[in-house]
Structure 1
Amino acid sequence: MKKILFLDFDGVLHPTHFAGENPFNRVDLLEEVLSKFSPEIVISSSWRFTHSIEKVQNLLPSSISKLIIGTTGAPVIGKHPRFQEIQAYLGTNGQANWRALDDSYWEFPSPCLELIRCNPNTGISNKQMDILSNWLA
């Protein structure tokens, strides 16, 4: 079964509040892991509402952008919206073995074994990359 990584940006690839810092300042950690594996990536970040997929791909290193196959669709209002958006994507595009890199844990049911929870104050760290690597291996 194919593997899909649903990728959030704020609180994952950079701290949620990154004023004065470069956006995507944690992307090198993700790039290192993905250099060994090639999961398909779907953008689940709210950036999908303000940036085209081409713009997002241009913001990310090419080693990551080449893995992007799409974005989740319309926003869901209600309980566990990010999880519901992912389920809608999978319902339309086919089931997959998936994980989500996200800091918005409240947007997922608890427990959600597919969620790799990030710290919104720092973004991804070696801890999340170890979990991602183990899943991808």
Structure 2
Amino acid sequence: MILFVDFDGVLHPARAVMGQHGPELAGDGSLFMWAEPLAELLAERPHVQIVLSTSWARHLPFEQVRDFLPVSLRRRVVGSTWHSIQTDPVFSHGLPYSYWQDATRYQQVRRWVTLHRLRRWAAIDDDADGWDDADRTRLVHTRADSGLSDPAAMSRLAELLRGQP
């Protein structure tokens, strides 16, 4: 199973900014403050792999984006939607680079799903714009200020990981 993971509004509040020394959280809290509950949930599910769907990938190299995650999550990362746009000719085949500049996160995720012929997948994101009704049941839509600290979001994710729609 593939889990598409956004960072802002999922693993920490959606107040991350690019500071002088890299990403930092504006206001209270810390970057990746809600990553541990995800790691704990996935610990029981070794078959789950992660694809990064975060917008951080637009601004930073893949390895750097991946390496912000705790080691237990980092080991599961098999790719990034944005880096596929830049490095995989099949991923972008027939679509100009300008298309990807405005593509929604859902469009990027859907392209990955289609090309890799995924049958089992889910996404965690605070951005639900443009999600097709047919795929909306695969989305754990978090609130920008609470992300995975919300017990309802974690419960929904656990259901999806168990294969329940």
The normalised TM-score by structure 2 is: 0.73
Distance in 2, Cα, partners of 1:77 & 1:53? 20
Higher RCO (CA 8 Å, separation ≥ 6 residues): 1
Gaps of 5+ in 2: 16-24, 86-99
Q: Match of 1:96?
A: 119
Q: Is the 8 A contact 1:76 1:82 kept in 2?
A: no
Distance in 1, Cα, partners of 2:138 & 2:59? 26
Q: Match of 2:63?
A: 54
Deviation larger for 65-74 or 14-23: 14-23
Q: Match of 1:19?
A: 26
Percent identity between the two aligned chains: 30
Give the alignment partner of residue 138 of structure 2, picking from 99, 114, 120.
114
Distance in 1, Cα, partners of 2:132 & 2:13? 23
Larger radius of gyration: 2
Gaps of 5+ in 1: none
Q: Is the 8 A contact 2:122 2:138 kept in 1?
A: yes
Let me know the Cα RMSD of the aligned residues: 1.7
Q: Which amino acid aligns with 1:72?
A: T
The number of aligned residues is: 133
Query: Which runs of 4 or more aligned residues in structure 1 lie more than 6 Å from their structure 2 counterparts after TM superposition?
Result: none
Distance in 1, Cα, partners of 2:154 & 2:41? 7
